Amino acid sequence: MLGRRYKVAYIFLLPTLVYLLGFQVYPLFENIRLSFTDLSLLGGQKPQFIGWQNYRHFLLKDEKFWLIFRNTLLWVFGSVLWQFALGIPSALVLNQKFRTRGLWRGLILVPWVMPVVVVSIIWKWIFDGQWGILNFALREFHLISRNVIWLGNPRMVWFCLLLASAWKGFPYVAIMMLAGLQSIEKEVYEAARVDGAVGFALFRYITLPLLQPAIFVSGLVAIVTTWTKFELIWSLTEGGPGNATSTLATYIYSNSFVFYDMGRGASLAVLSTVVVLFISLFYVRTIHRSNV
């Protein structure tokens, strides 16, 4: 009887299993296999097994790799921090009672649901060094006398990219935090007030600790999605000027689909996966330890 029940369960699971095997597991192992070959679509020869050569190339020879790796960390952690810096205050505001709260809760999602390419075009127009709205506004207020080349200046470009990324991603954090805030019982605040906690102390000792589960989950999701987020940078700067804003995601794309070096692209993808896996594990263990 039990066996039959399991059989039905397995039948229902089968489509998902087939999908996962076909579209997740197989490509993953095929990618690992390719990373040990010199497959190039321009070579005209059959790919040869070359061992760790591709990995050695990036880790030891390629002078750009470590710059790009550092860029990736800046991109991911900078974006996530900004998203939280905007998301938590927004959630606190939206958790208050005011007349048009429902409307604002809906409106805040606009950047998040907008297609990335549209967001990129909007920000490109804002930051454009020749015709950009930001330069126009700054000049109108006599804050600058000559246009600033926001996306062409290695010092400014990261500020612009992180701002665009934070704008796109903060609604997700805000909504998650809002859900977390709504799950905190009012009695906890009342008890804290009785104990003399007011203002920032309430936030520091009640809200923030009780939000931790929501921060943990949304933080992990934000790290992983930003790690692989590629379209925003590609549309705004294509990784330039030079390689100043290249990240591992754009570098994988360039190696695989601009230079057609599939072997090298695959090895970069493996390296990227390993690093993000390591960061996620470290993150999970740290949070877990702090909860214990």
Residues that bind other proteins (CB under 8 A): 40-44, 128-131, 147, 149, 151-152, 237-238, 240-243, 254, 257-261
Find out whether 237 and 161 touch, Cβ atoms under 8 Å.
yes
How many C-beta neighbours within 10 Å does residue 193 have? 13
Q: How far is the CB of 49 from other proteins (least distance, A)?
A: 17
Residues of 135-159 as b/e, b for ≥16 C-beta within 10 angstroms? beeeeeeeeeeebbbbbeeeeebbe
Between 111 and 129, whose beta carbon lies closer to other proteins?
Answer: 129
Between 149 and 275, whose beta carbon lies closer to other proteins?
Answer: 149
Q: How far is the CB of 189 from other proteins (least distance, A)?
A: 50
Between 41 and 118, whose beta carbon lies closer to other proteins?
Answer: 41
Beta-bridge mates of residue 49: 37
The pair of structure tokens assigned to 85 is: 């810096």
Q: How far is the CB of 41 from other proteins (least distance, A)?
A: 5
Find out whether 254 and 271 touch, Cβ atoms under 8 Å.
no
Q: How far is the CB of 45 from other proteins (least distance, A)?
A: 10
Find out whether 91 and 174 touch, Cβ atoms under 8 Å.
yes
Between 117 and 274, whose beta carbon lies closer to other proteins?
Answer: 117
Q: How far is the CB of 212 from other proteins (least distance, A)?
A: 42
Between 40 and 212, whose beta carbon lies closer to other proteins?
Answer: 40
The pair of structure tokens assigned to 80 is: 């996530």
Find out whether 235 and 118 touch, Cβ atoms under 8 Å.
no
The Cα 257–Cα 267 span in angstroms is: 14
Between 214 and 261, whose beta carbon lies closer to other proteins?
Answer: 261
Q: How far is the CB of 226 from other proteins (least distance, A)?
A: 23
The pair of structure tokens assigned to 212 is: 């931790």
Residue 174 belongs to what H/E stretch? helix 154-182
Between 231 and 238, whose beta carbon lies closer to other proteins?
Answer: 238
> Among 130, 155, 135, which Cα is nearest to 145's?
135
Q: How far is the CB of 14 from other proteins (least distance, A)?
A: 25
The Cα 256–Cα 143 span in angstroms is: 44
The Cα 58–Cα 267 span in angstroms is: 9
Find out whether 206 and 214 touch, Cβ atoms under 8 Å.
no
Q: How far is the CB of 240 from other proteins (least distance, A)?
A: 7
Find out whether 145 and 139 touch, Cβ atoms under 8 Å.
yes
The pair of structure tokens assigned to 182 is: 């709504």
Between 111 and 241, whose beta carbon lies closer to other proteins?
Answer: 241
